[in-house]
Amino acid sequence: MVKKQFAVIGLGRFGVSVCRELYKLGHDVLAIDVVEDKVSEMVNYSTHSAVADGTDEKSLRSLGVGNFDHVIVAIGDNLQASILCTLLLKDMDIKQVWVKAQNYNHHKVLEKIGADKIIHPEHDMGNRIAQHLISDKVIDSIELSEEYAIVEIGVSNSIHNRSLIDLDIRAKYGVTVLAIRRGKDINISPLAHDKIYKDDILIVIGHKNDLKRFEAVT
């Protein structure tokens, strides 16, 4: 694994989750917040943690934030601070500035000032949960765009013991099986003659309409 450097500014629930997960995955994480208590809580879950105002260019520079390739702005309700911080980071030529947005107007402003990715955690999570609720086969899904997604689909009896070529999945449904999970094993480059068994989990990419059609036969 290539170790990467991340800075997370704003340590609310979202910022803390991102920080902890990146750190757990072995990356260098600099955790920043204006509130001292929030920063001290992160001592064991980040490589460095510092009390600083994300809207203060001098403080950010003195922490070396300008040298990071990837910064996550997770400042919550304070839209002005979130926008100013994003602007400063883009001015510092940081390649990837990902920002948590509070609402549509915030999103529009962030888009205009060059945020590289705008995240709506509650909305995205709500969508994923809804997908699971309406389908007993979809285990998880990642929305790639309005139209495309990657989904994990459970296999039932209907396609048990059939090979990918036999099912002719790509031609018939226009979707691609990226991987097959069987218990703890995962086959990440399934071949045409690989078979699918009941209780396998297929990781499939495609247009959402095609995925729905495919899901109906699995």
Binding site for ligand ATP (CB under 6 A): 9-15, 32-35, 38, 53-55, 74-78, 81, 100
The conformational region for residue 64 under phi > 0 = left, psi -120 to 50 = alpha, else beta, is left
DSSP per-residue string spanning 84-132: HHHHHHHHTT-SEEEEE-SSHHHHHHHHHTT-SEEE-HHHHHHHHHHHH
**Bridge-based pairing state of the strands 70-73 and 5-9:** parallel
Which one, of 199, 145, 156, 149, lies nearest residue 176 by Cα? 149
User: How many residues are there in the chain?
Assistant: 218
If the CB atoms of residues 32 and 180 are measured against ligand ATP, the closer one turns out to be 32
Nearest distance from C-beta of residue 9 to ligand ATP, angstroms: 5
Nearest distance from C-beta of residue 133 to ligand ATP, angstroms: 22
If the CB atoms of residues 75 and 155 are measured against ligand ATP, the closer one turns out to be 75
User: In 12-103, where does DSSP find H-type helix?
Assistant: 13-24, 36-41, 57-62, 79-91
If the CB atoms of residues 10 and 206 are measured against ligand ATP, the closer one turns out to be 10
Q: Label residue 24 exposed, middle or buried (CB < 10 Å: 0-12, 13-18, 19+).
A: exposed
Burial 176-200 (b: 16+ CB within 10 A, else e): ebebbbeeeeeeeebeeeebbeeeb
Q: What is the amino acid identity at position 198?
A: K
Nearest distance from C-beta of residue 87 to ligand ATP, angstroms: 12
If the CB atoms of residues 84 and 196 are measured against ligand ATP, the closer one turns out to be 84
Nearest distance from C-beta of residue 38 to ligand ATP, angstroms: 5
Nearest distance from C-beta of residue 43 to ligand ATP, angstroms: 15
If the CB atoms of residues 101 and 169 are measured against ligand ATP, the closer one turns out to be 101
If the CB atoms of residues 78 and 176 are measured against ligand ATP, the closer one turns out to be 78
Beta bridge partners of 202: 153, 180
Nearest distance from C-beta of residue 109 to ligand ATP, angstroms: 16
